Amino acid sequence: MEHKTLAKLITQIENNPEVAPQILQQFPEHQSKVIGFTGSPGVGKSSLIDRVIRYIRTRDLSVAVVAIDPSSPFTRGAFLGDRIRMREHFVDDNVFIRSMASRGALGGLCDAIFDVVKLLEVSGFDYVLVETVGIGQSEIEISHLVDVTVLVLSPGFGDEVQMLKAGVMEIADLYVVNKSDLPESDTVYSQLLAFLALAGKSEQQLCKASTHANNGVREVVEKIERLWESFYADGTIERRRKRRTRYHAEHIVRKIVEQAMNTVQENATNPYEFVKLALSRLCENHLRGGQGGGI
Amino acid sequence: MRIFRILIAKPGLDGHDRGAKVVAHALRDAGFEVIYTGLRQTPEQIVRTAVQEDVDLIGLSILSGAHLQLSKKVIELLKKEGIEDVPVFVGGIIPQDDVPQLLQVGVKKVFGPGTPLSEIVQEVKSILQEGVTKTGGA
Amino acid sequence: MYDKEFLRNLSEKAKTWEEQLQAELRKFPERSEKFSTRSGIEIKRVYTPLDLEVMDYLKDLGMPGEYPFTRGVQRTMYRGRFWTMRQYAGFGTAEETNNRFKYLLQQGQTGLSVAFDLPTQMGYDSDHPLAQGEVGRVGVAVDSLRDLEILFDGIPLKDVSTSMTINSTAVILLAMYAVTAQKQGAEISELRGTIQNDVLKEYIARGTYIFPPQPSMRIITDIFEFCSKNMPKWNTISISGYHIREAGADAVQELAFTFCDGIAYVEAAIKSGLDPNVFGKQLSFFFAAHNNFLEEIAKFRAARRIWAKIMKERFKVTNPEALKLRFHTQTGGSTLTAQQPLNNIVRVALQALSAVLGGTQSLHTNSFDEALGLPTEESVQVALRTQQIIAYESGVADTVDPLAGSFAIESLTNEIEQKVWEYIEKIDSLGGMVRAIETGYVQKEIHNSAYEQQVAVEKKEQIVVGVNAFQTKQEHQMKNILKVDPSVEERQITTVRKLKVERDNNAVRGTLKDLKEAAKDGKNIVPYVFDAVRAYATLGEISDTLREVFGEYTESMIL
Ligand SMILES: Nc1nc2c(ncn2[C@@H]2O[C@H](COP(=O)(O)OP(=O)(O)O)[C@@H](O)[C@H]2O)c(=O)[nH]1
Ligand SMILES: [Mg+2]
């Protein structure tokens, strides 16, 4: 698909997720390798993605990237700067990069992301890479969206220990210690090694990289591919995609319910009556709006 | 209300991005989604970004003195990509004499040094609003 | 500074005075509830000896020319000699510049100053796509040794001192200069001059960086080491706060970030085996003079005291010469307004006066019409006359550090120093300046300061005469700017393309390969750059070779 057309479709979905089903049904099914990159701001996710794109492109495969940054809860404005690190690929016809703002969604992902990823898949890209800022819960969210989750870490971000405690780190499939050119990265690496042993994960799920020195990127990509292949073979991908559908549906339902509840508010005097009103409003809406897609 | 997306780009070899960043900041605070691509962007890179990000407006910050060539090139490429309807604003050190020429090649608005941020935000808002009423909203 | 009894009496007196004042204030309130400078220093209604209670004259001020040099780095200051009135301007091709150099030397000048165009500063040859429209625009275009041979043709480099405003590609220009001198028969050990070479400020303010900070520091360290052995008379760095200030920093940030850069360089020098007692003498600084008159004077005075302490306490320097902060000052380009441009003459005069009262070693005054385009001959002359009026007519140069002892100035000096230390500690806690730059902390601080200032002007919390107050109807006219002769670019491209055909390309490939290996293996790259330059490898080729090894820096997102 032409980049221009694709970009406009994404905007439509972003501004109004309800149109997504109509848009998506126009395209034949196609499955991409959908890889998520998450981690604290500043660990080097965008830089790593830049290198990963470069590596994937040497094999003449096509890549789409979606980079999500937070919107301001007060002004709804956002500053989207991840592209800066991928500028080398701007004029490559086989690379499509899109920045998205979270637009108030919890957990670091934006509401439209499920459909946007789907659209990029059916557009025929070999890879779809998703970058999200890792702030606690959002790692879990992203693992519901992608086939393989990569958690990027680097020295100087003390919050890793916090994340270990919260168990958030459990969900990643691959752990990349970036900035291995910095001496302190060794400490992070050994901490992670210990963590993986405790969590019963394999050492294979850990690697080092330096996007500055261009070290280890090849290994990162190869590990991602190997993981993807094995997940594909053992049905993990299929399971994850089913879970993604369910999770996406949950998102939609939650939104619908929320909207119905917003219409009741003042009229109800107790919670049971509230529920009753909300549900009846919900049924009305549903009957009127037909099956509808997202919200 | 729909959220608009704006590309702030900084072509030219010089490293003076104080103005571009301050404007980007003000637009973000005014509720826009601002895509910023950093220093030393070629017109090709700027236009490809505009295509992929499907932006509603492009702001070019040019201090190198090459504003005529650069703006012309950007607008040519926008036409080539078929997105010449995206308005282009130019800010920077622009001599008064060059303004008519810039407008003639298709630049929508030129902001000289010392233009208040509030004025820039207002102009951006009004031109985007105008676009919406013309197309009946998107 | 004062005895206890006196301070007690004064304190009582001051209290009564304040109490009586309150009634008056209710009737006649002040212009503002709070007065403060842009760097957040609150300005008091009145300063008294009470504010200097803990100050110790000998320890904190001392005599001029003595530690901690608050009062100046020389004993007689401008009673001996005025500051250097250094006005640089003009650019063009190597030939044109060569002619001007020869003229200046005939007139008895012994120092030359070279500015380079942006492609040269960024490591691109004139035929690179990004160089289009930029060749020869803001300085001389240099592609290869050949351009420097032309630039210095007929000028005996062993007899002159040359200052080159060059940073990211400083190692290449240094090599070209030295090889040109060797070809003239000079020993490189005799050469005198300066390269700006202050790459850290490029990341945070000026923007002409190429490599990431770590490899940039490595190149700088290589230069330090090479020069200390082979070019001992060469000044290897000039540390600039000017660009930091112009990028939006306040006075405190200007000093703090400049000194943090300085600390990083001194550490690098020590690491490469240099003695800070010797190296320290060769450091020079470059600051801006902006509008807040009192704050700026205090800033310059505080700067000397802080740097002396850094060198003495942090780096254990004992040689007093290596403790002295010597600096060049330029008036603030960003403070000039396009509206009512004649007002700029007054701004420049006040800023220049603050630099003189602050004890600068040299001074550049901006032309009043710079915000409108290229300065005219007349405006350049007024700028120079401004300095001469301060020097010859105002009388401020006839006594050393005339404002010392002012309760207000000394208090401000102390407060600025305090705030600068806090910033330095903050940067230390982030792991030093290189690390702080990599995380984008410094850039963010400067950007926020720039943004706040802009907002303050728009809310009229900060008044800019002629811009947000006292405007006149008359529209200001921007004049034409930087018209360069397009034939310069064509000629330069033809020459460099021709060179690439005519030279011994095997030799070029060989030297570039060696350079690449050296860069990879962590060897000192300077001799390898010399070899490549000698073989007529171009500036772009050498830069690309280093780019392959070191990578390129991409700015940090700062909002
Ligand atoms: N030393 C070092 N710094 C890196 C490396 N990768 C990225 N960085 C720096 O880390 C900062 C944040 O990078 P970015 O990719 O924007 O991080 P993100 O916020 O996770 O997307 C930037 O200043 C990069 O230059 C690396 O391999 N080594
Ligand atoms: Mg990022």
Alpha-carbon span A81 to C555, nearest angstrom: 10
Q: In which residue are the tokens 């019409």 written?
A: C369
> Any chain A CB within 8 A of the CB of C559?
yes
Residue C394 within any structural domain of the chain: yes
> Can you give the pLDDT at residue A166?
60
Q: Are C123 and C209 in contact (CB under 8 A)?
A: no
pLDDT tens for each residue of C493-551: 999 999 999 999 999 999 999 999 999 999 999 999 999 999 999 999 999 999 999 99
Q: Which residue in the set B15, B65, B66 is minimally distant from C207, CB to CB?
A: B15
Other C-beta atoms closer than 10 Å to the C-beta of C432 total 14
Q: Is the pLDDT of residue C377 over 80?
A: no
Q: Determine, yes or no, domain membership for A293.
A: no
Amino acid C91: pLDDT: 61
- What are the tokens at C112? 């030359």
Same domain for C510 and C418, yes or no, is no
pLDDT at B136: 44
Q: Does the pLDDT value for residue A290 go beyond 60?
A: no
Domain finish residue from A208, A234, A260: A234
pLDDT at B63: 87
Tell whether C408 and C509 lie within a shared domain. no
Nearest Cβ partner for C557 among A81, A87, A156: A81
Answer whether residue C40 is part of any domain: no
Reported as a single tens digit per residue, the pLDDT across B83-132 is 999 999 999 988 888 999 999 999 999 998 888 999 999 999 999 988 76
Q: Are C297 and C360 in contact (CB under 8 A)?
A: no
What average pLDDT does the segment B49-57 reach? Answer: 98
Closest Cα in chain A to B2: A15
Same domain, A248 and A229: no
The total of structural domains in chain A comes to 2
Centre a 10 Å sphere on the Cβ of residue C128 and count the other Cβ atoms it contains.
21
The CA–CA distances, whole Å, from C419 to C41, C209, C408, C425 equal: 9, 29, 16, 10
User: Which of the other chains make 3 or more beta carbon contacts under 8 angstroms with chain C?
Assistant: A, B
Q: What does the pLDDT average to over A112-120?
A: 95
Q: What is the pLDDT of residue B131?
A: 74
Based on the domain organization, do C218 and C357 belong to the same domain?
A: yes
Domain range for C526 is 492-550
The nearest alpha carbon in chain B to A102 belongs to B33
CB contacts, 8 Å: C373 with chain B: 95
Q: Is residue A239 part of a domain?
A: no
Residues A35 and A94 placed together within one structural domain of the fold: yes
State the pLDDT confidence band at C106, using cuts at 50, 70 and 90: confident
In a domain, C39, yes or no: no
**Least CA distance to A88: which residue of chain B?**
B45
Q: Which of C204, C245, C451 to mutate to test the interface with B (most CBs of B within 10 A)?
A: C451
pLDDT at residue A130 in the model:
96
What are the residue ranges spanned by the domains of chain B? 5-128
Ligand closest to the CA atom of residue C444: 1
Single out the residue of A69, A61, A11, A44 nearest to residue A214, CA to CA. A44
Tell me the CATH number for domain B5-128.
Answer: 3.40.50.280
Distance (Å) from the alpha carbon of B97 to chain A's nearest alpha carbon:
33
Query: How many Å is the Cα radius of gyration of chain B?
Result: 14
Question: Could you tell me the CATH number of the domain that includes residue A113?
Answer: 3.40.50.300
How big, in percent rounded to 5, are the helix, strand and coil portions of chain A? Answer: 55, 15, 30
CB contact under 8 A, C137 and B28: no
Closest atom of ligand 1 to CA, residue A43? 20
Mean pLDDT in residue range C97-101:
85
The confidence band for A191, taking pLDDT boundaries of 50, 70 and 90, is: confident
- Could you tell me if residue A51 is inside a domain? yes
Q: Is residue A267 part of a domain?
A: yes
Indicate if A214 and A90 belong to the same structural domain.
yes
| Residue nearest atom 19 in ligand 1 by C-alpha distance | A42
Compute the nearest-CA separation of C482 from chain B (Å).
Answer: 7
The residues of A whose Cβ lies within 8 A of any Cβ of C are 42, 47, 79, 81-82, 84-85, 87, 156, 181, 212-214
Pocket lining: A179 vs ligand 1, CB cutoff 6 Å = yes
Residue C328: give its domain's CATH number: 3.20.20.240
Helix (H), strand (E) at residue C269 = helix C251-271
Phi first, then psi: what are they for C215, rounded to 5°? Answer: -65, -30
Render pLDDT for C336-366 as a digit per residue (tens, 0 to 9): 998 899 999 999 999 999 999 999 999 999 9
Bigger pLDDT: A11 vs A196:
A11
Give the mean pLDDT of B69-81. 96
Residues C360 and C504 in one domain: no
Residue appearing with tokens 């990341």: C203
CB C189 within 8 A of CB C230: yes
Give me the residue from B25, B37, B52 closest to A7, CB to CB: B52
According to the model, what pLDDT value does residue A259 have? Answer: 80
C554 touches chain A (CB under 8 A): yes
Whether the CB of C133 is below 8 Å from some CB of chain A: the reply is no
Q: How far is the CA of A61 from the centre of ligand 1 (A)?
A: 25
Q: Is the Cβ of B114 closer than 8 Å to some Cβ of chain C? A: yes
Residue B13 and residue C450: Cβ atoms within 8 Å?
no
The verdict on a CB contact (< 8 Å) between A90 and B45 is yes
Are residues A252 and A147 part of one domain? no
Residue range of the domain that includes A114: 3-234
Q: What residues form DSSP beta bridges with B110? A: B90
Ligand 2: distance of its center to the CA of C180 in Å? 46
Tell me what pLDDT residue A160 has.
59
**CB contact B121 to A (< 8 Å):** no
Q: What is the mean pLDDT of chain C?
A: 93
> Residue B138 — pLDDT band, cuts 50, 70, 90?
very low
Same domain, A207 and A83: yes
Nearest CA to ligand 1 atom 7: A44
Tell me whether residue C451 is in a domain: no
User: Chain C: which residues have CB within 8 Å of chain B?
Assistant: 118-119, 122, 124, 129-134, 137, 202, 206-209, 246-248, 337-339, 371, 373, 447, 450-451, 454-455, 458, 467, 477-482, 554-555, 557-559
Query: By percentage, how much of chain C surpasses pLDDT 90?
Result: 82
Using CB atoms, pick whichever of A71, A76, A96 lies closest to residue B52: A96
Specify whether C521 is located in the same domain as C422.
Answer: no
A123, A13: one domain: yes
0.95 surpassed by pTM: no
pLDDT over 70 (residue A165): no
Inter-CA distances, B20 with B36, B57, B62, C351, C552, Å: 9, 14, 9, 27, 22
CA distances from C343 to A218, C89, C242, C369, C383 (A): 60, 22, 22, 10, 13
Are C423 and C518 contained in the same domain? no
Least confident interval from A180-194, A228-242, C232-246, C372-386? C372-386
Over 90: is that where the pLDDT of A1 sits? no
* A45 close to ligand 1 (CB < 6 Angstrom): yes
- Judged against a pLDDT cut of 90, whether residue A134 lies above it is answered with no
Q: Nearest-CA residue of chain C relative to A181?
A: C214
B100 vs C: CB within 8 A: no
Is residue A108's pLDDT more than 60?
no
User: What digits encode the pLDDT tens for the residues C419-451?
Assistant: 999 999 999 999 999 999 988 999 999 999 999
Positive/negative CA dihedral, B34, B37, B43, B47: negative
Res C59: pLDDT? 96
Q: What is the pLDDT of residue C6?
A: 95
Verify cis geometry, omega within 30 degrees of 0, for the bond prior to C68.
yes
Residue C144: per-residue pLDDT: 97
**Residue C40 has which token pair?**
């957040």
For residue A292, the model assigns a pLDDT of 45
**Contact present, C305 and C69 (Cβ < 8 Å):** yes
Ligand 1 atom with least separation from CA of C557: 16
Q: Is the pLDDT of residue A65 over 50?
A: yes
Question: CB distance C558–B21 less than 8 Å?
Answer: yes
- Res. C164: pLDDT tops 70: yes
Report the alpha-carbon distance of residue C147 to residue C144 in Å, rounded: 6
Phi, psi of B60 (to 5 degrees): -105, 130
Task: Report yes or no on C44 lying in a domain.
Answer: no
Count of the separate structural domains present in chain C? 2
A156 lines ligand 1 (CB under 6 A): no
Q: How much is the average pLDDT of C209-221? A: 95
Mutate to test the pocket of ligand 1, among A47, A182, A219 (most ligand atoms within 8 A of CB): A47
Determine the residue of chain C that is closest to A85 in CA distance. Answer: C554
pLDDT in tens, A136-161: 655 677 888 999 999 999 887 665 55
Check if A212 has its Cβ closer than 6 Å to any atom of ligand 1. Answer: yes
Closest Cα to residue C303, out of C239, C350, C256?
C256
Among all bound ligands, the one having the nearest atom to the CA of A85 is 1
Q: Which of C204, C556, C558, C559 for mutating ligand 1's site (highest number of atoms within 8 Å of CB)? A: C556
- What is the CA(A45)–ligand 1 centre distance, in A? 7
Whether A143 and A166 map to the same domain: the answer is: yes
Compute the distance from residue A42 Cα to the ligand 1 centre, in Å: 6
Q: For chain A, give the mean pLDDT.
A: 87
Q: Which residues of B touch A75 (CB under 8 A)?
A: 28-31
Using a 10 angstrom Cβ sphere, with 0-12 exposed, 13-18 middle and 19 or more buried, the burial of residue C384 is: middle
Query: What average pLDDT does this structure show over C54-68?
Result: 95
Confidence of residue A293 (pLDDT cuts 50, 70, 90): very low
Average pLDDT, chain B: 91
Q: Tell me, what's the pLDDT at C326? A: 95
Instruction: Encode burial over C317-345: b for 16+ CB neighbours within 10 A, e otherwise.
Output: beebebbbbbbbbbbbebbbbbbbbebbb
Answer yes or no: is C476 within a domain.
no
Let me know if residue A257 belongs to a domain.
Answer: yes
Q: Is A76 part of a structural domain of the chain?
A: yes
Cα nearest neighbour of B41 on chain A: A87
Contacts of A165 (CB under 8 A, 6+ apart): none
Instruction: Give the pLDDT mean for A61-85.
Output: 93
Residue C146: pLDDT above 60?
yes
Chains that touch A (3 or more CB pairs under 8 A): B, C
Q: Which of C424, C439, C454 is the last residue of a domain?
A: C439
Quick one: pLDDT band at residue C476, thresholds 50, 70, 90?
A: low
Helix residue ranges, H only, chain A = 3-15, 20-24, 45-58, 113-122, 138-143, 159-166, 185-198, 217-233, 236-264, 271-289
